[in-house]
Structure formats: structure tokens, C-alpha cells
Structure 1
Amino acid sequence: MQTNYFYRIYLLLVIFVNAGATVDSNEQSNVGVKVFGPGWDNPQLIFPSRYFFVQHFSDKRVVRVEIEGKVGENVAANRKDCRIWTQVFNETNFDFDMIIVRYKLMSDRCSNGVIIKLFDANNELLMKKETSTAIYAEECVCHNLRWNELMNCDQNSEIYNQLFADLRTFNNSKFNFENSLEEMKRRYAPYTKSYSFCHYAIVNNEIYRKCYGEYVGFAQFMDDMLISLASKTRLPNTQLIVNLGDWPLSDTRRGSIAMPVFSWCGSDETFDIVLPTYEITESVLNMQGRVSLDILSIFGRQNGLPFNKKTSKLFWRGRDSNRLRLKLVDLSKKHPKLIDAALTNFFFFRDEIEKYGPSVSYTSFTDFFNYKYQINVDGTVAAYRMPMLMAGTSLLLKPVSKYYEHFYHLLRKNVHYILVDQELDELLPILRHLIRGKQYSAKKDELPASDEEQAAIVHNMRKFVLKYLLPSHIYCYYHKAIVEYSSLLKDGEIKVSKEMQLVYTAKSKKCNCNKNDANKDEL
């Protein structure tokens, strides 16, 4: 029954996640698969790792994928010129009969384009895609006039509601950036060990910055995203302040005005402009690189266990960055049949190791999803693992919190997750309801009772990931934030002081397709 239920649901999925594949839809239906995603629809779009999805609707299944450079006249030169690393994730049978394909150019370019071939178990070619022009690696400068259009950045525009709400504080009249910067420096620059932020200036697509504070290593995440965007499209001339810490800084309690500060986390008490967190940003920029966890690999590397076969417990691991986490561990010690929660590291509450320890070894993140239930408990601010948990196949519980990430405003309780009170006082009754079917009187009409109902919420959660949290969505959000914010600045010359460091210029890239190719889509 559960299988039929999800088969009906995933047949509807493609209606809203299909990005408009360029292969004729009749051809796709004839072979029983649907292919969509930027790595298939528009391979000329540059990503650190291009990706696409193959969804099955019949017994015909894609079991092998070949992606290689098209051969020109000089075969030997082509092999040297075009090197591609391909990965396929096919463990998505929990709710979507789908595989995820991603490929990374290990050379600067594939001068003659690429060929993507999809084969079934009998080695029959089911579908093929060819590009007619060269494609380039992340390391290249390739400005595309149609970047925003080809990325479908305005397709699910409701994701920007949080951005527009953040900017509303500052859009009554155009604000003076220099005044905001001076106020920021007055409030926070003297406290070098407590606060760190950077002043960025973008002029003619060159990026400059000056940072304040002792701990400025996290500037690399903003550097890398701005560099990646500037090498793909034209950014407006602008200036911005980026908070490098976790806590939001645009706090009117510390001064008379709210300041237009970009942060990775927002709160109900502050006015920061919230960007995707550095964790998901890094995973996008270094996919098939130095990061081991990213949204696609987690989505595709599930163990295939149906929901009703998972261990019926709440599972959690993390460090001691919030006393609420200590309370969760204490509940686990008292109710081990309901909760398996333990700390992997003590930093903030080392004097309480005897009560809440010992610390345990790390558990592989993919093994988290052997359990039916996960919980996302705040650390110092919002726990940035939320998108990764949503890409999994466990039912997610989330306590009430004043902190939020850029996408929380679209999440709905009992649709995408189960809401728990802020102090976890309701956690045990809710778990007893979910695990044992015991009625929790306060919410008996809201909470899902059966495995099928709970698995349906997991399905909704994973649909949310496909619709709003893929790499293309992260790129689009950053770009939209910079463009919309820049429109609010008072007109005037942007001055790059001698103290500012040059972070990026097109000359710093090792290849530039705009100089090498006469492509009308490029500047």
C-alpha cells in the first residue's frame, strides 16, 4: 500500500520540479524516463559540479551514464582537452524512483562540447544529449547575458519573500552606505575578538574587501561565492557589509538605526539580510571537491530502507553549543527506548562532562537516516544542518526558535516537519504518539499517526529540497540578494580605499572563454 501511495505521488512530482528539458517530451515518455536539471537542459551553464536528474516511469531504467567530450579532428588533443569526472547516485527509491547524475570538468574546457548518453540494463541507448558549443569549467570566466534566464532564477520566486522582508527595513528611501559602514565600525570594530565583518566593494565586476576583527577566515565563503558569480555574470557596482559570525548583528538595541548587514542567520529580534548559510554555500562551491557532504550526495545516498523498517527512535549527534542540547542528552539517558542522543564534543560546558558525557565518536551522516526521527536543535544560533537533514529520509522534528535561515518562511508544520516547543517539554509525548501511537491530547488531531502519514511528510520535505535548495537555487538567491540590495543604495561613486584588498579580477582566472570564443550569448 505504501509503495502504491508513493508511486502516485512521484508521478506528480515532475510537474513542478521539471526545469524544461530540451529533449522532446514525447521522446522522453516513449522511453519511460524524464530528464531534467541544468546539467542536462543547459550544459553551457557553469557550475563547480553540473547535475541533472533522471526519473523513471516504467520498467526501462537507466543503469549506466556516459559523459564525454565530443571528438574533433584531433582525437588525441580532444582527450587531453576534455576530462570529466562523473558520479551517479541511485539510492533514492525511498520516495522518488530517480537517479542523480553530476559531472565535473577536470580540465579548463571541452572545446567541442560534450555528449551525455543514458543506457539501460541491456546496454541499449535510451537517451542522448549533445552540446553544439564548447563548455567550460568553474575556473573560467564566461559572462553569459542570459545567465539569470537560463538558471530559471525567477521560477520559484516565493523563495525570495524572506529577502524582500529583510530589505523592507531599508527601502523607504535610498540609504547612505558610508554612514552604515561608519556605524558598523563604531559598534563592532573595537571588539576584535568578539565580532568580525567585511566591507566589500564591487566595481566593474572586480571585487575588493577590507575585514575587521581577529577571526576573518570565514570571509573565504563570501569571497568564493562572489568570485564564482562574477565569473559567470555581471554584478552591479555596489558595496556591502558581510557579518562573518553566527549571531545576527543588525540590532537596534545596540544603536539607534538598523544596519543593512548580510548574515547567514536571522532572528526575530534583528534586521540582518539573510543569505544561505556558509555551510550550504561551501557545499555548492566545492561539490565533487573538498566537501564530503552536500545536498545532492545526501539526497541520493539513502540506504533504501522503507520508513516502516527504520529504527523507531529519535537520533541526534552534535556538540554542546546550546544548553537545550544538554537537556536532549539528559532525556536520552532517561528514555533510551525513545531517544538516542549524545554529544560528540564538549567545548562550552566542559565542567558538566560527568553529567552529560562521555562524548561519543562521530556517526556517518548518512547513518543518521537509519532512524525514523531526527531533530534540529539550535546551536549558538540556527543549526545549519537543516537542509542536509531535509535531504534525508527521516521525519524531522524542529523546536520553536527565534533564529531562522533564508528558507524557513516557506516551511509548514505537519507538512514538512513536526513542531516541538522551545524547551522540549512536549518532546516525549510527541515521540510516544509518533512511535507507539499513543494519543497526545494537546495535538492529537494534528500529528501524523501512521507510518504512511509520517512518510508522506518526509516526502514533502524532500520535494521542498528539490524545489528550493539545490545548487542553482543557492546561486540565484545570492545573485538576487546582491541585485535587489544594490538598488537601494544612494547613487554615487564607489570609492575603493587603499586599505581594501583586491579579491578578484577577470585577469586572475586561468582561462577566459569571452576572449576565446565568439558566442553571441556571452559578453
Structure 2
Amino acid sequence: MVSEGGVDSVSLFLNVFLRSLIVFGVFISVDVPVCGAAGISPDRCLVWGSGLDAGSVLPVRYFYIQAVDSNGHNLTVSPGKETFKVKISALDKKEHIRIHVPPPLDRGDGSFLVRYRLYGTASRGLQVLVLHQDTPVAKSPYTIQGPVYHEYCDCPEPDGSVWENVMQCPDVEPQILADFRSFPAVDLQRLRQEVPQRFANRGGLIHYAIINNQIYRRTMGKYTDFKMFSDEMLLSLTRKVRLPDVEFYINVGDWPLETKRPDASPGPVPILSWCGSTETRDIVLPTYEVTHSTLETMRGVTNDLLSVQGHTGPPWTNKTAQAFFRGRDSREERLQLVAMSKKNPELLDAGITGWFFFRDREKHVGKAPLVGFFDFFKYKYQVNVDGTVAAYRFPYLMLGNSLVLKQDSQYYEHFYTHLKAGTHYVAVKRNLSDLVDKIKWAKENDAEARRVAEAGQVAARELLQPSRLYCYYYRTLLTYAGRQTGKPTKLKDMEAVPQPDDHTAACTCERGRHQEDGAVKDEL
């Protein structure tokens, strides 16, 4: 006979056991990939993106796969990183083309990012086969009719509007419109006289002229090595689309230069820079960091705007509920972060990994070991603090699935105008006085913090696509060229910046260069 107390004990045990099973079941369903991706319907899955269009020539082409179940519902958690396989080959089996196709990147939300880099031109085209457990996915195999040009093929599209349409460039870029309000006209003669006088000793300036789609330049200043980044982007762009004749200056230093107000007499001069500020009038381009990483994706860099999307750490519920920062000592507020971290270790893990600007403080503050960037995303909250200018890690942090706590700043990059505090990230006062409170808010409002993090990630995925970067450079130069007065000129001390001419650049351009050359002669 079981006593009443014994029955209560058994009931209590069963109740606790069942609750544990429920909690365990929820944990499994939320945080663990679907075993074997059993619910996926290959024919209902979605495949799309510019990497399936021959005209969208990029260093690394890319497209997307959305996993869909047998009920027609998009998966919103990872079904497993090996759910899909992709094979890409030349349609003409006699064409021996090297094509680097790494496994699809699992973005953790049911979608996958497929990347591939061509090392030769596929004259007849490519076949793209997307498989799930050896079953073709969606409308696979896909045929990309040739020619499909590789990155180093010098074969620009003569019609810029055609190129913009193929690249799906946005109709308007708010930052470009804002930057050019100060420059209704660009007097090239004044530019040639004033810019060297005022700025030649301010770090590094590169004076470019693009004539007949050929690039020429001269350098000014002590620190001009970073011209390699502007050179490589302009060369890449002119291989893809014909640019108007244009003459301009690029500032390859950290700080924007032109401080004159628009109502000054004479007014400000247009200088292209990788960073803008509320106190200057420079025309902003995408930073050299995101530009170079885009050009060298899957080759010369570890972190880029595509690879980071597949390395965003554990799901939100499994991340450590702390704010995280690692970086150099390039701004004093970063040292303040370490002090705050020591006082609030349960809220913030911050450390300085390299000392240069405040070496006298290293002994007191300490030096933290380096942490791989992808490991940042083990934490729920990322603190973004300026360096010498805007922190160039910001776009990469936004592409993760952590909540970004961004310091208020006078500095900005080309895409900031699309983002809104409270919607895409959480703003923190410049002196960091409210940072601890913002971290506490995020911990106490987990669902809202997660919503902001996800909204920021979605926006960043759209804004920071490699195609958008090319569109931005093109639209900036096109807008600039339309406001020039005077004729863009190759000056005597300018040197040519040639396209690569080794075997990696070999290709046959089929766009009809004779027609293009004729059009150029008519313009001249």
C-alpha cells in the first residue's frame, strides 16, 4: 500500500520530470538543427540571387537558398550546415575552368549563402546544380548562358544604365545625395590649384583622372601606400562598366579633410574619402576595409562581408548574456570600457589587444589576448566604439546576430543613413555614461533586444552586398562627373594604372569593342 505522502512524492517527481522533458524538448527544438533535415521539400525550396545572372560580374558571385518544409513553410532555424550541396561546372566540357565553390554558408535562419569564384571565363556558360540529399532543389539545374566573365576579364559594359539594371542598383543612395548638396558644380581648374595647396601635406592624397576608361594618377603627401586599395577598386570597376571621363581626388588617410562650410566663399572642394564626419564635407566612399575584403573574398582575406554571415556563433538563446569588446587603444573611450568591465564583469567583457596611442597606460590597464572575430558572436551584445575615426568593424558586427551597442559618433560610413537607432542597433552616449544601463536594459528585455539585433542583421545583409558596393562607387563617380565644369585631363606627371595582363586576366570579350570605340570617338 502506498501512503498518501508517497503518492504526493510520486506525483511531484512525475511533475518535475515532465517539466524537465518539456524544457529539454523546447531547448532541442529551438537550438539544435533539424536532424537530417527530414522536413525539407527540395522542390519547394527557393533559389535566387545575382550569382545566377551572367551579367552580374563580381570577384565572388553569390546566390541564396531558402529551406522550405513539406507544408510550404520557410524554415527559420538551421536545418544543418550540410543540408545542401552545390556543384558548378562549365557547359562546354572542353573548357577547363577552375571554379572554387566552397560549401554553402549556413546563416542559421533557414537560409544559405552560396559563393563561387571563377578563375576563367566560361564562353558557353555555366551549369549550377543545387542538391538536397542528391535530389535537385527548386528548378535545379540552373543554366547561366555565356559568356560568363571572371573578375580579371577586361570587358566593360558600354551602357551604364544596362549595367546598373543587371546589378540591381538602387534608384537612390541618400548619402550620395546628401554629400553632393555642397557641390552643385565641380570646377576642375580650381580643384587642380587649391587641393594640392591646402591638403598635399595632410597625409595622403591621390589625384586620379579616368579618360576613355583608362586610369591615371599622381600621389601627394607622405603616406600614399593605401593607393593600392583605391587602385584595385577602380581597376575592378572599369573592367565591368564604362565610366565617364572624370577627374577627382581620393583621400587615403583616416580623417576626412574638407572643413569649409557650404556657404563659405569660396566654398568647399570635393574630396572623396573612406569616412565622413558631421564637421567635414568630404564625399564618402565605402571604406578601404570593406572594399578590399570584397575584392579578396575567398582568397586573400579571412573576414569578409559574405563569410561572416556563416559564422555568427550560437543561436541567440545559447549566447553568453554579456557585452563584448576587443580592440586596439585607438580611442580613450576604449580604455574606459576596460575599467567598466572590471567594475561590472557580469555585464561586460572588454580588453585592449594592442597598444600604440596610450602606451603609458598599458601597465595599469593590461593587455588582453587576441580573440578571433567570429568568436565575438558567442556574446549577445557587441560594443562598437570609434577608433581613430569610425570603427571599421561596424559593418561586420551588424552582419552578425548579436545586438550592437553603438557609440554616438561624429563619424560615419557610406551606409549609416539607412540605419536607425532603436530599430537596427542601440545607441550609447559618446562618453559611454549610459552603457551599463543599456546592457541591463538588453538583459531585462531579451525579446526586444533580439528583435533589434535581427532587424539590424536583415538591413546589413541588404546594404552590404558586394553588388551594392560596386553600385555605390559607380553612382558616386557618375554623379561627380555630371557636375564637372572643365575637361578631365591626364596631367604630365600622372602615371597610368594598367589592368593586369598576365594569364589570370586572359579572356575574350564579346561585348563588341568596335562599337564601343566608335561611340567614344563620337563623344570626343
Q: TM-score range by the shorter chain?
A: 0.7 to 0.9
**Kept after mapping to 2: 8 A contact 1:373/1:396:** yes
User: Counterpart in 2 of 1:83?
Assistant: 98
SS at match of 1:31: coil
SS at match of 1:223: helix
**Kept after mapping to 2: 8 A contact 1:320/1:349:** yes
CA distance in 1, matches of 2:344, 2:471: 44
1:70 aligns with 2:78: no
For 1:95-494, what aligned pairs fall within 5 Å after superposition?
Answer: 96-106=109-119, 108-124=120-136, 126=138, 127-144=140-157, 145=159, 146-154=162-170, 157-158=171-172, 160-171=173-184, 174-189=185-200, 191=201, 194-252=202-260, 257-303=267-313, 305-357=314-366, 359-435=367-443, 437=444, 449=445, 451-490=446-485, 492-494=486-488
CA distance in 2, matches of 1:122, 1:505: 42
**Kept after mapping to 1: 8 A contact 2:84/2:104:** no
User: Counterpart in 1 of 2:46?
Assistant: 34
User: Counterpart in 1 of 2:508?
Assistant: 513
* Structure 1: runs of 5+ lacking an equivalent: 8-27, 438-448
CA distance in 2, matches of 1:413, 1:175: 34
SS at match of 1:201: strand
Change (3 A) 1:54 1:233: same
What is the deviation of 1:301? 2.0
What is the deviation of 1:295? 1.1
CA distance in 2, matches of 1:88, 1:522: 39
What is the deviation of 1:433? 2.2
What is the deviation of 1:90? 3.4
**Kept after mapping to 2: 8 A contact 1:319/1:344:** yes
Over residues 125-150 of structure 1, what are the superposed CA-to-partner deviations in whole Å (9 max), with x where a residue is unaligned? Answer: 54211122221211111222321110
CA distance in 2, matches of 1:355, 1:50: 48
**Kept after mapping to 2: 8 A contact 1:88/1:99:** no
CA distance in 2, matches of 1:185, 1:327: 39
Over residues 194-247 of structure 1, what are the superposed CA-to-partner deviations in whole Å (9 max), with x where a residue is unaligned? Answer: 411110001000000001012111111111111111111110001011001110
Larger radius of gyration: 2
What is the deviation of 1:153? 0.8
SS at match of 1:484: helix
> TM-score scaled by structure 2?
0.84
**Kept after mapping to 2: 8 A contact 1:206/1:506:** no
Change (3 A) 1:396 1:520: farther
CA distance in 2, matches of 1:324, 1:404: 17
Name the % identity. Answer: 36
CA distance in 2, matches of 1:54, 1:520: 40
What is the deviation of 1:29? 9.6
CA distance in 2, matches of 1:521, 1:43: 21
**Kept after mapping to 2: 8 A contact 1:231/1:506:** no
**Kept after mapping to 1: 8 A contact 2:325/2:351:** yes
Change (3 A) 1:182 1:519: closer
CA distance in 2, matches of 1:319, 1:187: 31
* Structure 2: runs of 5+ lacking an equivalent: 1-22, 31-39, 73-78, 518-524
Change (3 A) 1:380 1:517: closer
> TM-score scaled by structure 1?
0.84
User: Counterpart in 1 of 2:3?
Assistant: none
User: Counterpart in 1 of 2:19?
Assistant: none
What is the deviation of 1:328? 0.8
Equivalenced residue count is 466
